[in-house]
Chain A
Amino acid sequence: MIKLNVNHILYLVQAAEWTVLLSLIAFAGGSVVGLMLALLRVSKIGLMRALASGYIQIVQGTPLLIVLFLSYFGLGILGYKLDPLVAAGLSFTIYAGAFLGEIWRGCIEAVPRTQWEASDCLGLNRFQQYVYVILPQAVRLAIPPTVGFMVQIVKNTSLASVIGFVELARAGQIVNNSTFEPFAIFTVVAIIYFALCYPLSVAARALERKAHVGR
């Protein structure tokens, strides 16, 4: 039996890079989908609103684990090579999109009605209203909850381990399989996750306070 040593810790830290990468992919993909959903949710067309809200209801009512399995096996059926990174990236895009869409919709709706009316009076069209008036204000409101949600993304990337993607949680299991010191190993893994998430949590809170001071 191999004792837990520095190499194991280094291996875990390396695996944490994959956790970070997957989080970034999730955030990038989720942002694109989320922005689309948020705009659809405040659309003037009822069907668009219904489609977006249906998507959000379904994704928020299904465990992320099941979304992961569905993407992993679903992509397999479509004949793609089963690369866990692709399946995980797809799942997290679907998942983060639904939650970010809902957060950002709230931020768009929180921009006062009078801003819409004023920009209407100035003769801006809907696209111009969004780009020059509504979205810049919504973004300011959106930053604290978005940073807070990034903590959820980082933590949830641990689930990618179940489809064989070697990130921090999977690396912890691999090290455990050779050293059989689960308490020590998973504590180290937890500490690394904490080191990734805690700064984000603190930042989210600080930004929240700052946003409240200004109003």
Chain B
Amino acid sequence: MSYQFDFSFLADRWPDFVAGAWLTIQLTVVSIALGLAVGTVCALVRVYGRALPRRLVGFYVELIRNTPLLIQIFIVYFGLSSLGLKLSAEVSAVIALVVNMGAYTTEIMRAGIQSIQRTQLEAADCLGLTRLQTILHIVLLPAMERVYPALSSQFVLLMLASSITSTISTEELTATANLVQSDTYRSFEVYIVVALVYLGLSALYRFAFWLIGLLLFARKRKLGTAL
């Protein structure tokens, strides 16, 4: 094999990669936060809601989980703009990622909420907690604590999936790679570099979620076990 590897493009293009990675981080942090909010509300509806809203949430979850993210992104970006709603690539990307993330988070949070026993709710009632207090302290936080490992892997998967938004010209990390490789013709090397950056980002996200978990679930930190 006579192929010569050449990583010299890094010398003057590295700021592009940094900018791309930064946009990836921004897109995914926003999508994770909003997706978690959507998923949590939907999970509450799915467990405690009335029949109709519960079925609607079920329909939403099934619809999203059984179609590819790529097509969801196309529908938001190309589909909505053809119907007259023009959105920038970044906004479309965030909407698609939030809708997608929300469906997966709903299922994960539902499992957590269903693991909270009825007696806990009754005890909260006896202590005179309001409905909001009960949901926040008795249901959501312990539920999240139990499903936190699944949630954080889902967040890392979302970060990796955000690469798909490059197909609608969101200038995140993968789109940057596509641009640099078409300028330098060093395709293989460019994608090796970007793969390494993504590996670094995955490690960074895992570390960050571990740290957040440590801060958020004080009881687990003190007792060494989840509830």
Interface of A toward B, CB cutoff 8 Å: 58, 60-67, 69-70, 73-74, 76-79, 151, 155-156, 158-159, 161-162, 169, 172-173, 176, 180-183, 186-187, 189-190, 193-194, 197-198, 201
Contact = CB atoms under 8 A, between A and B. Distances in A.
Interface residues of B, number: 40
Given A62-B195, A63-B174, A183-B83, A172 B71 contact: yes
Main DSSP-derived SS at the B contact region:
helix
Contacts of B198: 61-63, 66
Interface string B66-101: 111111101100111111000000000000000000
A190 B66 CA distance: 9
Contacts of B187: 69, 73, 76
Nearest to A65: B163
A136 B195 CA distance: 37
Contacts of A63: 160-161, 163-164, 174, 198
Contacts, number: 116
Contacts of A65: 163-164, 166, 174
Contacts of A180: 82
Given A187-B75, A194-B66, A66 B163 contact: yes
Interface string B53-75: 00000000011011111111011
Given A63-B163, A169-B68, A198-B66, A77 B75 contact: no
A76 B160 CA distance: 25
B167 A190 contact: no
A170 B166 CA distance: 15
